[in-house]
């Protein structure tokens, strides 16, 4: 049986629905005719999704006429197989799927053992006894978890707390299962006899791990088989699993004395079970929070806050698995760094601090505009857009980040006291197909991007030196942003058609220029005149091209490269001219 918990944006529980395994499909929607009615949310259609129990999971299918999207783990879905613990969102309502299992005490005794199982819903009705003692124990849990450096230390602290909070217990342990399905003791403590041998019931531990719910065994006094804890004089034992740590850890508590059905001693035992489950739940929640904090801390250096928010706090890291997608790649480098490193060989620490500050400027702007930071390469930073979330704004945001980086370094150069005053940057941006994704472990994630588009961004960055510009973009990106970038964001100026050294195909390269209010030196008329001169240059009308190029302000050096070629050929295009400039060597610092 499943439970579906519906909560509104204010984390208020709006409804709880029961879904029985084996039943037919159920429809969820705002209509009162829906099987699962959600009248409080106007963004949910009359009939929005179909839910079909499928074994231990739930198949969700968005209905064709539903208006608003369905999100699972931060991504839009039309059909998905939900596992217990997962959440889907429609409008302002979140629906959490829970596995609801009923208490099962009908199993007949076997070998003198009475077995009972408990779910959390049934135990919610059990009243605690010895409340003050139990509260005192619970208040120390966060400190225990924070200060326990390794798992063994945590196990030691937990067993001591269990004995302190469960006065009926004589033995407390943290257990697991070996590969041979035998109990594995992480740590155990006796209340009275510290030297006693601990032999947990293999049947009890196995049943707990298999069902992932608390199982209680009560032994008949005549039972004396070595397979059970009763052989050591214990009359009962229960095992409570941790819900979301590793799936193979549990609390094991046992005590002496007989338990008769219906007696007050059994009621007290149920209160003890509820207390153990509460400890297991708190430990699970605190460890989950700590794991997510480590994960978020690791991801924060790669992803911008909006991307992390869109993915969700508890997102599935499988979303970060490498996959092929369209990306916009930005490669930013410091010009002349190698020469500067030689000059400051006696103060490399100081140089490293300045380079770190420069990289921080680059990465902060990449993250500010929703990009992902990839690996650092010495004094260069790599950023990319289009993964893990696709967005039509990705190419524009890459260009905005590039112009923001250029502006930051321009301000630094204007300040004689700024530590980055003598640093210059060069940026190449390209757009295309690539494989992007994470490498590493769940908690230590590195992200990267592979493909020719990355190499092209690096080539464009290196080419900025020869073309005397700060930011170069490729032809595809020019086409994407030219008609969509507003004058307040920036401008595009086509520079030439070039075949880089080592590449088979020529391409147009363009300069990304700041808006007029931030770069008044170059007016819109200058941009138009330059592109007119470029067209004349490509068509072989080099004297006309010369005239247009020399309308540029003297401080604008983008004209230098073409003017030099025209001058070398006495303003006449060479025989067989096809408009393509072929680089004779690989561009570099």
Q: What is the 3-state secondary structure (H, E, C) of 231-263?
A: HHCCCEEEEEECCCCCCCEEEEEEECCCCCCCC
What CATH number does residue 36 fall under? Answer: 2.60.200.20
Q: What is the mean pLDDT of residues 122-137?
A: 72
412, part of any domain? yes
With b for 16 or more beta-carbon neighbours within 10 A and e for fewer, the 509-538 pattern comes to: bbbbbbbbeebeebeeebbebbbbbbebbb
Indicate whether 104 pLDDT > 50. Answer: no
For residue 472, what is the domain's CATH number?
Answer: 3.30.70.1230
Same domain, 276 and 203: yes
Is 427 within a domain? yes
| Comparison of pLDDT for 530 and 439, the residue scoring more | 530
Same domain, 94 and 122: no
95 with 118, same domain? no
Asked, for residue 235, whether it belongs to a domain, the answer is yes
Q: Write a three-state SS string for 501-523.
A: CCCCCCEEEEEEECCCCCCCCCC
Question: Is 146 in the same domain as 190?
Answer: yes
The answer as to whether 585 is a domain residue is no
Residues 459, 501: Cα–Cα separation, whole Å: 9
Given this model, what pLDDT does residue 302 score? 54
Query: Residue 108 — pLDDT band, cuts 50, 70, 90?
Result: very low
Q: State which of 469, 491, 516 marks the end of a domain.
A: 516
Q: What is the pLDDT of residue 589?
A: 42
Q: Are residues 227 and 374 in the same domain?
A: no
Q: What's the chain's average pLDDT?
A: 80
For 431-449, write each residue's pLDDT tens digit.
999 998 876 555 555 678 8
- Domain boundary among the residues 516, 538, 556 is at 516
Cα 152 to Cα 402: distance, rounded to the nearest angstrom: 50
Is residue 54 located within the same domain as residue 90?
yes
Among the listed residues 288, 285, 280, the one whose alpha carbon sits nearest the alpha carbon of residue 158: 280
Quick check: 578 pLDDT over 70?
Answer: yes
Q: Which of 516, 535, 560 is the last residue of a domain?
A: 516
Q: Are residues 445 and 336 in the same domain?
A: yes
Q: Per the structure, how many domains does the chain have?
A: 3
Does 528 reside within a domain? no
- 157 vs 178, residue with greater confidence: 157
Query: Worst-scoring range by mean pLDDT, 13-27, 38-52, 515-529?
Result: 13-27
Report pLDDT digits (tens) over 438-495: 765 555 556 788 899 999 999 999 999 999 999 999 999 999 988 899 989 999 999 9
Determine contact, residues 2/97, Cβ cutoff 8 Å: yes
Residue 344 has which token pair? 């400051």
Position 247 scores a pLDDT of 56
Indicate whether 524 belongs to any domain.
no
Question: Best-predicted range by mean pLDDT among 10-19, 287-296, 506-515?
Answer: 506-515
Please check whether residues 446 and 312 belong to one and the same domain.
Answer: yes
Whether pLDDT at 167 is above 60: yes
Of 132-146, 204-218, 424-438, which has the strongest mean pLDDT?
424-438
pLDDT of residue 209: 83
Query: What average pLDDT does range 509-513 have in this prediction?
Result: 96
Identify the pLDDT of residue 292.
Answer: 60
Instruction: Give yes or no: residues 142 and 189 share one domain.
Output: yes
pLDDT in tens, 304-316: 555 555 555 555 5
Residue 488 lies in a domain: yes
Q: Which residues pair with 498 in a beta bridge?
A: 507, 581
Which pLDDT does position 224 carry in this prediction? 41
3-state helix, strand, coil in the chain (%, to 5): 35, 25, 40
* Residue in 29, 32, 79 with CA at minimum distance from that of residue 54: 79
pLDDT tops 60 at residue 193: yes
Per the structure, the complete domain to which residue 6 belongs is given by 2-99
Q: Is the pLDDT of residue 378 over 80?
A: no
Q: Is the pLDDT of residue 539 over 90?
A: yes
User: Does residue 315 share a domain with residue 209?
Assistant: no
pLDDT (0 to 100) of residue 322:
84
- pTM strictly above 0.75: no
The yes-or-no verdict on residue 517 having pLDDT over 90 is yes
Higher pLDDT, 101 or 27: 27
Whether residue 43 is found in the same domain as residue 169: no
**pLDDT tens-place string over residues 349-375:** 766 777 788 888 898 898 889 888 876
pLDDT of res. 427: 96
Residues 386 and 359 in one domain: yes
Q: Picking from 250-259, 341-350, 552-561, which range would have the lowest pLDDT averaged per residue?
A: 341-350
Residue 581 belongs to some domain of the structure: no
376 or 399, greater pLDDT: 399
């Amino acid at each position: 049986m499943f439970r579906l918990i519906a909560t509104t944006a204010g984390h208020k529980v709006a409804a709880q629905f029961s879904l029985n395994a084996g039943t037919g499909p159920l429809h969820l929607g705002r209509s009162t005719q829906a099987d699962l009615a959600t009248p409080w949310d106007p963004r949910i259609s009359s009939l929005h999704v179909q839910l079909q129990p499928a074994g231990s999971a739930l198949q969700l299918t968005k209905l064709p006429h539903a208006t608003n999207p369905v999100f699972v783990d931060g991504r839009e879905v039309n059909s998905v197989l939900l596992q217990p613990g997962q959440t889907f969102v429609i409008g302002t309502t979140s629906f959490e799927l829970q596995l609801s299992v009923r208490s099962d005490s009908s199993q007949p005794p076997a070998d003198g053992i009475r077995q009972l199982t408990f779910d959390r819903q049934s135990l919610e009705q059990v009243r605690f006894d010895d409340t003050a003692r139990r509260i005192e124990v619970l208040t120390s849990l966060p400190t225990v978890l924070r200060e326990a450096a390794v798992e063994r230390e945590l196990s030691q602290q937990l067993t001591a707390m269990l004995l302190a909070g469960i006065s009926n217990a004589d033995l407390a342990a943290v257990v697991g299962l070996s590969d041979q399905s035998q109990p594995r003791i992480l740590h155990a403590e006796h209340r009275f006899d510290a030297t006693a041998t601990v032999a947990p019931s293999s049947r009890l531990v196995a049943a707990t791990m298999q069902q992932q719910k608390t199982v209680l065994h009560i032994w008949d006094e005549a039972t004396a088989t070595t397979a059970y804890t009763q052989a050591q004089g214990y009359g009962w034992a229960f095992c409570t699993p941790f819900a979301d740590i590793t799936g193979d850890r549990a609390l094991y508590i046992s005590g002496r004395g007989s338990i008769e059905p219906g007696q007050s001693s059994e009621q007290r035992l149920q209160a003890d079970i509820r207390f153990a489950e509460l400890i297991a739940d708190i430990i699970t929640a605190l460890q989950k929070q700590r794991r997510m904090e480590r994960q978020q801390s690791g991801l924060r250096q790669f992803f911008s806050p909006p991307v992390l928010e869109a993915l969700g706090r508890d997102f599935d890291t499988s979303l970060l698995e490498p996959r092929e997608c369209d990306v916009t790649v930005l490669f930013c480098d410091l010009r002349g760094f190698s020469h500067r490193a030689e000059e400051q060989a006696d103060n490399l620490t100081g140089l490293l601090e300045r380079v770190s500050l420069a990289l921080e400027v680059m990465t902060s702007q990449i993250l500010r505009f929703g990009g992902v930071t990839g690996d650092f390469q010495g004094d260069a930073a790599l950023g990319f857009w289009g993964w893990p979330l696709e967005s039509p704004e990705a190419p524009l945001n890459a260009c905005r980040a590039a112009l923001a980086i250029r502006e930051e370094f321009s301000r630094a150069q204007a300040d004689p006291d700024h530590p980055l005053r003598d640093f210059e940057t060069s940026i190449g941006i390209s757009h295309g197909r690539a494989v992007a994704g994470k490498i590493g472990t769940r908690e230590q994630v590195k992200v990267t991007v592979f493909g020719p588009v990355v190499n092209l961004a690096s080539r464009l960055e290196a080419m900025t030196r020869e073309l005397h510009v700060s930011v170069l973009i490729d032809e595809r990106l020019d086409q994407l942003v030219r008609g969509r970038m507003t004058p307040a964001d920036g401008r595009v100026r086509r520079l030439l058609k070039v075949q880089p050294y080592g590449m088979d195909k020529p391409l147009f390269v363009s300069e990304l220029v700041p808006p007029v209010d931030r770069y008044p030196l170059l007016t819109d008329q200058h941009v138009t005149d330059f592109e007119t001169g470029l067209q004349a240059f490509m068509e072989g009308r080099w004297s006309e091209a010369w005239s247009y190029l020399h309308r540029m302000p003297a401080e604008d050096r983008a004209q230098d490269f073409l003017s030099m070629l025209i001058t070398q050929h006495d303003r006449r295009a060479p025989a067989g001219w096809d408009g393509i400039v072929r680089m004779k060597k690989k561009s570099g610092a």
